[in-house]
Amino acid sequence: MSNASLTSMDYIKRAATELSNAMKTMEAHVSELKTKEAHWLELERRDQVNLVDVPKLVTLNVGGSLFTTSKETLLRVEGSNFHAMLGSGHWKPDVGNAYFLDLHAPTFYRVLTFLRTGKPWLDGLNTYEELRTSMEYLHLTSPSLVVWATTASSNREDSYMYQVASNEVMKGDGQQLCTNVIR
C-alpha cells in the first residue's frame, strides 16, 4: 500500500470513529429524552387520576373569603395553576373542606368571571394590577389579558383598555375602541 492510501485509510477510520462516537452521544440523548418523556407521561396520568377524584363542586378559601365553583370552571384554562394544584394530589382541602389560596379576595371573583366567560371584567376596578397579579399567579394569561393600559382619553382612574384579539381593543366597559391594531 502506498503512503497516500494509508493516509486516506487513516482519515476514513478517524471519520468512522468520530461518527460512531457522535451516534453513541445521540443515542444517550435519545435515551435520556425517552426517560423524561416516560416520567412526564406518568405525571400526566397521575394528574388525570387525581383530577377525577376532585369533587364536581370545589370550595376555595381565598384570603379568608369562601368561593364555591365547579371543577370544570377551575380547569377551563389548560396549564393553569388550578390544573397543577388539583392534579398534583398534594393540594388538599383544609378542615372546612376548602382549598386555600393566598390571594386578594376582592378581585378573585373577577378571576372566576374570566374562567366562566373567557372575558376579563374590569368595571369598577380601581387597580388593574391586583387582578392581573392574581391571574399571573395562577398562570391564567390569555390573549384577552395581554395588553392593559389606562385609557388616555378618560380622566377616571378606573378606566382601562384590554386587547381581546390581535386586532381589537376594548374599553373596560366592553365598548370597542378600535380594530386593526398596529404593533
3-state secondary structure of 166: coil
User: Does residue 75 or residue 165 have the better pLDDT?
Assistant: 75
User: How many Cα atoms are found within 13 Å in the side-chain-facing hemisphere of 124?
Assistant: 4
**Please, which pLDDT band fits residue 106 given cuts at 50, 70 and 90?**
confident
Longest C-alpha distance within the chain, in Å? Answer: 92
- Model pTM score: 0.54
Please tell me the predicted confidence (pLDDT) of residue 180.
Answer: 43
Q: Within 10 A of 60 (CB to CB), how many other CB atoms are there?
A: 22
**Please, which pLDDT band fits residue 179 given cuts at 50, 70 and 90?**
very low
H helix or E strand, kind and range, residue 148: strand 148-150
pLDDT > 80? residue 14: yes
Q: Name the E strands within 2-135.
A: 57-62, 65-70, 99-101
**Please, which pLDDT band fits residue 168 given cuts at 50, 70 and 90?**
low
DSSP secondary structure letters along 34-77 = HHHHHHHHHHHHHHHHHHHHS-SEEEEEETTEEEEEEHHHHTSS
Which DSSP state fits 93? -
pLDDT tens for 83-100 read 888 888 888 888 889 999
Please tell me the predicted confidence (pLDDT) of residue 147.
Answer: 46
Which amino acid belongs to residue 7? T
| Mean pLDDT, the chain, whole residue set | 77
**Share above pLDDT 90 across residues of the chain, in percent, rounded to a whole number:** 30
**Please, which pLDDT band fits residue 163 given cuts at 50, 70 and 90?**
low
Pairing verdict, β 160-165 and 148-150: antiparallel
**How far is the C-alpha of 180 from the C-alpha of 67, rounded, in Å?**
38
User: Does residue 152 or residue 108 have the better pLDDT?
Assistant: 108
Report CA torsion sign: 113, 118, 123, 128. positive
User: Does residue 111 or residue 124 have the better pLDDT?
Assistant: 111
**How far is the C-alpha of 115 from the C-alpha of 14, rounded, in Å?**
61
The pLDDT of 13-28, averaged and rounded, is 94
The pLDDT of 157-174, averaged and rounded, is 51
